[in-house]
Homo-oligomer: A and B are copies of this chain.
Amino acid sequence: MPNSFGNLFRITTWGESHGAAIGVVVDGCPPNLPLTVEEIQAELDRRRPGQSDIVTPRKEADAVEILSGLYEGRTTGTPISMLVRNTDQRPAAYDEMVEKFRPSHADYTYQAKFGLRDPRGGGRSSARETIGRVAAGAIAKKILTLAGAVEIRAYLTRVHDIEMPALVKLPTLAEVEASPVRCPDTATAERMITRIKEVRSQGDSVGGVIECRVRGLPVGLGEPVFDRLEADLAKAMLSLPATKGFEVGSGFAGTVLRGSEHNDPFVMRDGRVHTKSNRSGGVQGGISNGEELVFRTAFKPTATILQSQKTVNVKGEETELAARGRHDPCVVPRAVPIVEAMTALVLLDHWMRHSAQNRLFTF
């Protein structure tokens, strides 16, 4: 259903940008996992507004409360309900949005679909909804780390037209977090920050690209046919606000190679099967092959800009609108922990499915 994601490890998110609270219910979490509020909070802090001077100044502590599913510090196998109260609500800032549809936002489509909408900060279409995803993803991440030393690392490779040089090795979390823009290449990060500040000063916005790599995955995650690993990752990424594209491994660039150039030869290394190159991006026939999983997601420039724009209002009259309210001139840096969270959710769910079907019975 629309507000749930996953099969065996399933999350259901709820809440609006300026409603009472935002939350998530996690169903299917394995029991006996040690879990603290602090672990969840640490991930939420990475997506929190006001974390640096290049993001929205909205003041939200995003303090999470765990309401169920834990007993004496361990998960019990029952649903984990988590909640963040909204505090810095300024609905007045959105008065104009009650009447006018913001260009390239969800105002018009929500109004048309449902016949009404919560206009305060975009209501359910706000990226605040991703709080629930990040909270749930923190649990999935922890399980993946404990179960298999799986390492998920996302980072910006591009802001606007500023592109990071080719990666030499997987950056550490510290290297990514070293800059508020979450690009592990220091020089590029500086240029990105400068560009973001520049467009902000012009009341404008920019987008960019996030790459995510996963190390330590077992061979065998992903299902033939519809629930291919890359298909579920594509859905996960395109379900994030402001995304316009997804590619795995060689991606769109791979279409200009010939088969003889593109194929990844199999080789033996360290006693097991590897591929020499990794244009497959770690997945073959929809199933992880044990190489690094590599995919990229494109984020459009933030739709909210302070410049005046042509639009129409709910009465069908043409008019103009200039945003007020607080916003991110570039959402991409704050999207990094969200990409990681969604990746963790997809991987854990597939891990559980794979094991249930293929590792349970020996005939």
Contact = CB atoms under 8 A, between A and B. Distances in A.
Number of copies: 4
B67 A14 contact: yes
Contacts of A206: 258-259
Contacts of A309: 260, 263, 265
Contacts of A216: none
B21 A67 contact: yes
Instruction: Output the residue of A69, A204, A238 with the most chain B CB within 10 A.
Output: A238
A1 B77 CA distance: 12
A260 B323 CA distance: 12
Interface stretch (A38-46, A102-110, A167-175, A181-189): A102-110
Contacts of A12: 4, 12, 25, 27, 79
Interface residues of chain A: helix, strand, loop or mixed (majority): mixed
B101 A266 contact: yes
Interface size class, chain A: 35 or more
30 contacts: A1-B7, A1-B10, A3-B224, A15-B79, A25-B25, A30-B360, A76-B124, A77-B113, A77-B114, A78-B123, A101-B273, A103-B263, A103-B275, A104-B259, A104-B280, A106-B284, A112-B220, A112-B273, A115-B358, A124-B224, A125-B224, A199-B259, A207-B262, A230-B238, A231-B239, A244-B255, A260-B305, A262-B300, A265-B311, A268-B318
